[in-house]
Amino acid sequence: MSPATPEKLAPALPPKRGLRDFFVERLGLDGIQALMAKKRVPIHRSTPFYFLGGMALFLFGIQLVTGMLLSLYYKPSTDQAFESVQAIMTEVDFGWLVRSAHAWSANLLIGILFLHILTAYIMRAYRRPREMTWFSGMLLFFLFLAFGFSGYLLPWNQLAFFASSVGTALVGKVPFVGEQLLLWARGGENVTGETLVRFYALHVAVFPVIAFVLLGMHLYLVQKHGMSVPDAAVKKLGGKENVPSMPFVPHFLLRDMVGWYLALAILAALAALFPWELGEKADPFGSAPVGIKPEWYFLFMFQALRHLPAHIYGVEGEIAGVLFFGFCGIVAMLVPLLDRTATAGWPRRILNVLAAMAVIFFIVMTAWGLIE
């Protein structure tokens, strides 16, 4: 047993150097640097699909910034919400641009997420050990749908009012707990100012915090497990170790940024050329306007529910529809547990048929809803 020498207790610090080393030494940046240097992105035919996640992240950043800006002028009450959004659109300098960017970016984000999930499914990126990445991603997707739904009510216009009435009424159809859920969601029996304040609180405080937690988890897992390489690429090159790759920093990141820049350009063009409409102020006691439709990403559900018969095998049509869509959501969520074999076996083939049917159903119903 040798006595501990002072050198062992407190290792001598390296000599002082420049400003960069000042921060590296105090913040432990070398660990982050080493992580970044380690991260590599495989190169194969499907590599472009890796951009979708980063693009969704970028659009989420735009949502945060434009949302914070809008919150400086928005007032969540029935006698001020519509008027404050109207003021944003007509009086505040560039207010129309900020609000239009927020609304358009939300729609682009949902669209990108659809593609992100679809490509992850096609590449079977959810398999062991990436099940949790899939779960957190699906939860994020549902959360962003909820973001869209809650944000839609905030301008307190006719469309928003009835969309929220319909949407929360569907929640009320859930067996056993529906009635309570409806009261909870609306803050009362009807869509009122209480609902508006609730949706506002969810939209600007509760959901963002949940989003940060889930997003942190999702990104950590992507970093931990690395990018998933599709079977086809592995097979073609005769083994995982033969798949070429590029460093994430700076090679992939720069390509990512080109994608973001493109997204920003598309967003700016959409916001400038097609400013988001405001419509008429909500009248809780007026009739629903003819031709009322939800946002495009809810349209397939809306269209399907509209054409369901009043009763299916003795069950109310709406209840059957809500249960069906809920079931589909659960199946999508549980994909990693349903398809667990290394090579695509029969569970995967069944899932493929279901997924294809779901995509076709979505496209047909959305298109039908748009032209009707």
Partner 1 sequence: MDSKPDPVPRRSLLTGSLTVGIVATVGAIFYPVAMFLRPRKATSTGAAEVVAPYRVNDLKPDANGRWPAPFNFNGKPCLLIRADDEVRAFNAICTHTECTVEYVPEKGVIFCACHNGVYDVEGRNVSGPPPRPLEMYKVTLRGQPGQEDIIVSRNT
Q: Which of 41, 87, 217, 331 binds partner 1 (CB under 8 A)?
A: 87
Task: Output 183 or 257, the one with its CB closest to partner 1.
Answer: 257
94 is a site residue for partner 1 (CB under 8 A): yes
Cβ neighbors of 41 (< 8 A, separation 6 or more) are: 47, 50, 227, 245, 246, 247, 248, 251, 252
Give the three-state DSSP class for 319.
Answer: helix
Q: From the CB of 360, what's the least distance to partner 1, in Å?
A: 40
Task: Output 96 or 144, the one with its CB closest to partner 1.
Answer: 96
First to last CA, the chain: 86
Task: Output 61 or 175, the one with its CB closest to partner 1.
Answer: 61
Task: Output 73 or 368, the one with its CB closest to partner 1.
Answer: 73
Bridge partners, 271 (sequence order): none
Task: Output 95 or 369, the one with its CB closest to partner 1.
Answer: 95
Residue-wise DSSP of 248-312: IIIIIHHHHHHHHHHHHHHHHHHHHHSPPP--PBP-TTSPPPTT----HHHHHHHHHHHTS-SEE
261 is a site residue for partner 1 (CB under 8 A): yes
Q: Which two three-digit tokens encode residue 349?
A: 């083939």
Q: Which of 95, 137, 167, 172 binds partner 1 (CB under 8 A)?
A: 95
Task: Output 99 or 130, the one with its CB closest to partner 1.
Answer: 99
Tell me how many residues contact partner 1 (CB under 8 A): 13
Residue 237 near residue 43, CB atoms below 8 Å: no
Site string for partner 1, 152-191 (x = CB under 8 A): ----------------------------------------
Q: From the CB of 256, what's the least distance to partner 1, in Å?
A: 16
Give the three-state DSSP class for 315.
Answer: strand
Residue-wise DSSP of 29-75: HHHHHHHHHH-EEE-STTGGGGHHHHHHHHHHHHHHHHHHHHHTT--
Query: How far apart are alpha carbons 217 and 125 in whole angstroms?
Result: 16
Candidate ranges 84-92, 104-112, 151-159, 363-371; the one touching partner 1 (CB under 8 A): 84-92
Query: How far apart are alpha carbons 54 and 127 in whole angstroms?
Result: 21
98 is a site residue for partner 1 (CB under 8 A): yes
Task: Output 91 or 283, the one with its CB closest to partner 1.
Answer: 91
Task: Output 92 or 334, the one with its CB closest to partner 1.
Answer: 92
Binders in 19-78 for partner 1, by CB under 8 A: 69, 72
Candidate ranges 25-33, 160-168, 260-268, 327-335; the one touching partner 1 (CB under 8 A): 260-268
Q: From the CB of 258, what's the least distance to partner 1, in Å?
A: 12
CA atoms within 13 A on the CB side of 97: 7
Q: From the CB of 60, what's the least distance to partner 1, in Å?
A: 17
Q: Which two three-digit tokens encode residue 150?
A: 């809650």
What is the contact surface with partner 1 in residues (CB under 8 A)?
69, 72, 87, 91-95, 97-98, 261, 264, 268
